[in-house]
């Protein structure tokens, strides 16, 4: 079932996958909150647009693959995976490719994402980034 809240979450994912910061901004509330896999919180649309801009430069092929979504009132749970290549010292090479299962919790308010929380094991990504930083 595609509830209005799931449609908003899908649009948000499409904007992320399209690296469309303008559309992301349109889909965030002014007080949008982002929570990363380590539980770190960042708040505010402008702060998050700057954060997404930096992240997409660091991982220029970042992509969310959504397999399933469920909604309960204004809360949406998304299940899928992420793939990305770290643009570090070695550049966009196969050794810098990171792929992992992931889930997201979105809170939708008035057709916009108020909160976006990511659940993923970032252990392998940290190892890949550390290896890249050791290279010449």
Residues 110-121: tens digit of each pLDDT: 999 999 999 999
- Return the HEC string of the chain: CCCHHHHHHHHHHHHHHCCCHHHHHHHEEEEEEEECCCCCEEECHHHHHHHHHHHHHHCCCCEEEEEEEEEECCEEEEEEEEEEECCECCECCHHHEEEEEEEEEEEEECCEEEEEEEEECCHHHHHHHHHHHHCC
pLDDT per residue over 67-112, tens digit each? Answer: 999 999 999 999 999 999 999 999 999 999 999 999 999 999 999 9
pLDDT score for 1:
62
Contact 76, 9 (CB under 8 A): yes
**pTM, 2 dp:** 0.94
Average pLDDT, the chain: 95
Answer whether residue 136 shows pLDDT above 70: no
Q: Is the pLDDT of residue 131 over 90?
A: yes
Contacts of 69 (CB under 8 A, 6+ apart): 6, 9, 10, 76, 77, 78, 79
Which CATH code fits 4-134? 3.10.450.50
Each residue's pLDDT tens digit, 13-34: 999 999 999 999 999 999 999 9
């Amino acid at each position: 079932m595609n509830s209005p809240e799931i449609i908003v979450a899908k649009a948000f994912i499409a904007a992320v996958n399209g690296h469309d910061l303008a559309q992301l901004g349109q889909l965030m509330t002014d007080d949008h909150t982002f929570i990363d896999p380590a539980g770190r919180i960042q708040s505010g649309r402008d702060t998050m647009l700057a954060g997404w801009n930096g992240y997409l430069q660091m991982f220029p092929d970042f992509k969310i693959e959504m397999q399933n979504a469920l909604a309960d009132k204004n809360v949406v749970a998304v299940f899928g995976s992420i793939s990305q290549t770290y643009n570090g010292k070695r550049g966009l090479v196969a050794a810098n490719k990171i792929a992992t299962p992931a889930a997201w919790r979105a809170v939708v308010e008035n057709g916009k994402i108020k909160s976006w929380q990511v659940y993923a094991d970032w252990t392998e990504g940290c190892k890949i980034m550390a290896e890249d930083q050791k290279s010449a």
